[in-house]
Amino acid sequence: MLFSNATLADGRVRDVRVDGETIAEVGTGLEADGEVVDAEGKRLLPGMIDAHVHFRQPGYSHKETWETGSKSAAAGGVTAVFDQPNTDPPTIDADGYAEKASLATASLVDYGINGGVTENWSPTELLEEPIAALGEVFLADSTGDMGIGRERFAEALDHATDAGVLVTVHAEDATRFDESATERDNADAWSAYRTAAAEIDAIERACETADEHGADIHIAHTSTPEGADIAREAGMTCEVTPHHLFLSRDDLEELGTFGRMNPPLRSETRREAMFERLVDGDIDIVATDHAPHTRAEKDASIWDAPSGVPGVETVLPLLLDEARKGRISYERLRDVTAANVADIFDLPDKGRIEAGNDADLVVVDPDDAEPIRGDNLNSKCEWTPFEGRDGVFPELTMVRGTVVYRDGEFADAVGHGQNVRA
């Protein structure tokens, strides 16, 4: 297949020839060998690598499955995902890994499977499996009740360092939660309860502990500019979610419990600062923390509703709309969604449009924005916290040379995805 006259992230207009699963050539005036996709006036980008999703299997298939989650990913231009360990059973030993790996073979996109840490995990057993990363390691309880203490965290760092595996960290300190907020029942009470200080302090201690043990860590879903600065100064990497980039406590009156997640939404001032840091290069990547729940589950009190929102299908469209408006460059967008992710998680054949790399490609019309509607999305939960916001959706998504999504239709390619570590 040949993509002709495509505009790359850096603005160059090039032909890109795909042979089998790889990019064979990037140049001008290339000859076609098979189908030609006329990409004149279109952007051709490397597929997004979402390093943080919860596809819910095993244990919670009423919320999401590998098939529905990966279709949602493909429709949003995401060509690889890393699934987190807080399923049922959790991915903390060889049996847990094997069960999830069997289910993941239904994925339309490539995937990695992360290993988890609990008080009764089996580190030697788990780290013999081809896990993508260790974590997210929960320093406070979230969905799945996998929170651990400092000693277990230090132990996990040592095991991971010996195995050459990156540790990703959910950094919140439960001792800094504000118990007085539990007397409130409005949607903002969750943000008041799980304070910004709880994240900032936890990131600082996690970085200090990692430094003491000679380990590298990656801070998941950083929601505070202070936390991002601490990670950067410590030489660690961090991610930000689309909900912490585009939503704030100002949106909670409208969102209600559908805006509850961990860490919670922050002030509008902090949200703006996070976007600025992303644009300026002080935050490494964007990852969704795609965490779907059903409408019935979310339609509860702020203290009973589960934490988490979907995002894998809307993250790239939202960022592309920001690029359309000139608020972030296409080069920076490429880096935070693909190139940097590939570097951090050691995926040398992904994340860039270069000869020899995996042909993970996304074609978009940069001017074709449309409102996001939950009813039109492919996640099993069928809702979105970004309802009504504009997004630029892909026309075509290719995973290792196979077109898995085009013009609203999926190819008969369920199970095409491969484990990036196997």
Q: What is the CATH number of the domain that holds 227?
A: 3.20.20.140
Place of tokens 């300026």: 280
For residues 218-244, give the mean pLDDT. Answer: 98
The amino acid at residue 158 is D
pLDDT, tens only, 129-146: 999 999 999 887 666 566
The answer to whether residue 11 is domain-embedded is: no
For residues 18-37, give the mean pLDDT. Answer: 96
CA distance 83 to 231: 23
**pLDDT of res. 274:** 98
Say if CB 115 and CB 91 are below 8 A apart. yes
Say if CB 172 and CB 199 are below 8 A apart. yes
Boundaries of domain holding 170: 48-347+371-386
For residues 362-390, give the mean pLDDT. Answer: 98
DSSP 47: P
pLDDT, tens only, 61-120: 999 999 999 999 999 999 999 999 999 999 999 999 999 999 999 999 999 999 999 989
The answer to whether residue 114 is domain-embedded is: yes
The separation between CA 10 and the C-alpha centre of its own chain, rounded to angstroms, equals 23
**pLDDT of res. 143:** 60
Split at pLDDT 50, 70, 90, the class of 147 is confident
DSSP 213: T
**Coil, helix or strand for 366?**
coil
Count how many domains the chain has: 1
CA distance 397 to 320: 15
Split at pLDDT 50, 70, 90, the class of 351 is very high
The answer to whether residue 28 is domain-embedded is: no
The amino acid at residue 88 is D
Tell me the pTM: 0.97
For residues 208-223, give the mean pLDDT. Answer: 96
Give me the chain's average pLDDT, please: 97
Calculate ∠ Cα 141-91-208, nearest 5°: 50
Place of tokens 């006259």: 5
pLDDT greater than 90 at residue 270: yes
- Which residues define the annotated binding site for Zn(2+)? 52, 54, 136, 170, 221, 289
Look up residue 179 and give its two tokens.
Answer: 């118990």
For residues 303-312, give the mean pLDDT. Answer: 98
CA distance 191 to 107: 34
The separation between CA 153 and the C-alpha centre of its own chain, rounded to angstroms, equals 23
Tell me the C-alpha to C-alpha distance, in Å, between residue 119 and each of 17, 40, 275.
50, 55, 36
> In 10 A of CB 256, how many CB atoms?
16
The answer to whether residue 240 is domain-embedded is: yes
**pLDDT of res. 141:** 63
CA distance 400 to 359: 4
The answer to whether residue 33 is domain-embedded is: no
Strands 402-406 and 361-364, how do they pair? Answer: unpaired
The answer to whether residue 398 is domain-embedded is: no
CA distance 225 to 274: 6
Phi/psi for 20 (5° steps) reads 65, -125
Handedness of CA 119, 125, 127, 129 (dihedral sign): negative
Lowest mean pLDDT among 25-39, 44-58, 139-153, 360-374: 139-153
**pLDDT of res. 71:** 98
The answer to whether residue 97 is domain-embedded is: yes
> In 10 A of CB 20, how many CB atoms?
9
CA distance 380 to 238: 28
**Coil, helix or strand for 147?**
coil
pLDDT, tens only, 308-332: 999 999 999 999 999 999 999 999 9
- Beta bridge partners, 398, equal 361, 403
For residues 395-405, give the mean pLDDT. Answer: 98
The answer to whether residue 409 is domain-embedded is: no
Show the beta-strand stretches assigned E in 28-174.
36-38, 43-46, 48-53, 78-83, 110-113, 134-138, 167-170
Tell me the C-alpha to C-alpha distance, in Å, between residue 239 and each of 24, 209, 278, 403, 413.
31, 19, 9, 28, 30
Question: Exactly one of 93, 289, 321, 358 is catalytic; which is it?
Answer: 289
Split at pLDDT 50, 70, 90, the class of 148 is confident
pLDDT greater than 90 at residue 207: yes
Q: Which residues contact residue 173 at a Cβ distance below 8 angstroms, ignoring those fewer than 6 apart?
A: 139, 140, 198, 199, 201, 202, 205
Say if CB 338 and CB 45 are below 8 A apart. yes
Q: Is 289 a catalytic residue?
A: yes
**Coil, helix or strand for 358?**
strand
- Which residues define the annotated binding site for substrate? 54-56, 86, 293
- Which residues define the annotated binding site? 52, 54-56, 86, 136, 170, 221, 289, 293
